[in-house]
Amino acid sequence: MNMADLQMREALKKYCTQVSIIKKGYGQEKYRIEQICRSFLGDKTTRDVTSVDIATYRDARLAEINPRTKKPLATSTVRLEMSLLSNFFDISRIEWGICGANPVSDVRKPKAPPGRDRRLTAREDRLILRYAHQHVNQDMYSIVVLALETAMRQGEILKLSWEHINLKSRIAHLPDTKNGTKRDIPLSLKARDALVRMGVKNEGRVFGYTSEGLKSTWRFMTLKLSIENLHFHDLRHEAVSRLFELGTLDIMEVAAISGHKSLAMLKRYTHLKAQRLVRKLEGNKHRGKQTILDHLIPYPASIEEGPEQITVKLLDFTGVEGFGICRESAIKMAQDVLLRRILMSMKDSENIPMPDQYLDLVDDSCLVMIDPLAAELAHIAA
């Protein structure tokens, strides 16, 4: 058969075996090629595909429902398929000579979706770490800790080898990353300890999980913990956010750790810098006052009604409770005890937990917010 008469599915298979196979994302690209081959484009001759055909394919894909999420297909998926087709037609035109133009270049791509900005809540953080620590596979806990401490991608973590880890200098070397460049990752003490607990070896892979295995475990965990809309990759976003929140690293230093080649990808994190400016607005004159006020914030509490008294339990603290014969008096005592506990913790330089880190399962109808500075009980009673 003349190369010019090749159907799209045959030409795409040729592209897959000669071009896609040398790419890092070969598995994903192969899946996209199979999807395109099953469409009406697969039956067309490569040189006969027009921009109208590409636009028709785009609109048909955008109208599809994702069988897993039961939601319309993500625009990012369609954009990736169109990028693949564009590169395919460029190769077909320039190197194989089986088409005269690139029909994708004249077609609008769907609007790019906004980048995900899902952050872990303090409670989700503790729930996940506790679950992972108790998991039958000890890899799980260390993987989660490394993701949060280093901002490494899932694939980078799973490919870690002992011969590329220097625990003395606390550096993990990544010889091959998604961007095609090597990278050295500084290890925090928590990250180093997460590796040490795995049992240090001279060589070989650190973790036994496969990508699909970890994905399955993660999905089961989030369902069991009732955590919605959290992907493993969101831990990378969380880690980068925390690096910026340290206040000691500039954008270039964060990029060196995270491996972002384009600084534009890090722009979504620049809003975090504004949070660090809040305290500076008051100046040195009120800095001590502001530090105290930053800790005197409302905390969640549960109300338990007994036969003789009502108990208000501050969920983020151990042993911080208020009692009373009525709801108002119990809340007032809890407010006073909370205020005293926070101030004593500051005096003794003890750690003060952030609100909503508790792990107890509490009915929402039993929850109230206790404000240590509330002037009136009406402000805190639900």
Active site residues: 153, 178, 233, 236, 260, 269
Q: Where are the beta strands (DSSP E) in the chain?
A: 165-166, 171-174, 183-186, 299-305, 310-314, 321-324, 367-370
Number of Cβ within 10 Å of residue 282's Cβ equals: 14
CA distance 70 to 148: 30
3-class secondary structure, 211: helix
Tokens describing residue 227: 């955590």
> Is the distance from CB of 266 to CB of 260 less than 8 angstroms?
yes
**Does residue 324 sit in helix, strand or coil?**
strand
Is there a contact between 302 and 367 (Cβ–Cβ < 8 Å)?
yes
Residue type at position 169: S
Q: Which of 70, 44, 47, 65 lies closest to 56 in space, CA to CA?
A: 44
Which residue type, as a one-letter code, is found at position 322?
G
Sign of the alpha-carbon dihedral angle for 360, 364, 366, 370: positive
- Please give the Cα distance from 215 to 218 (Å, whole number): 5
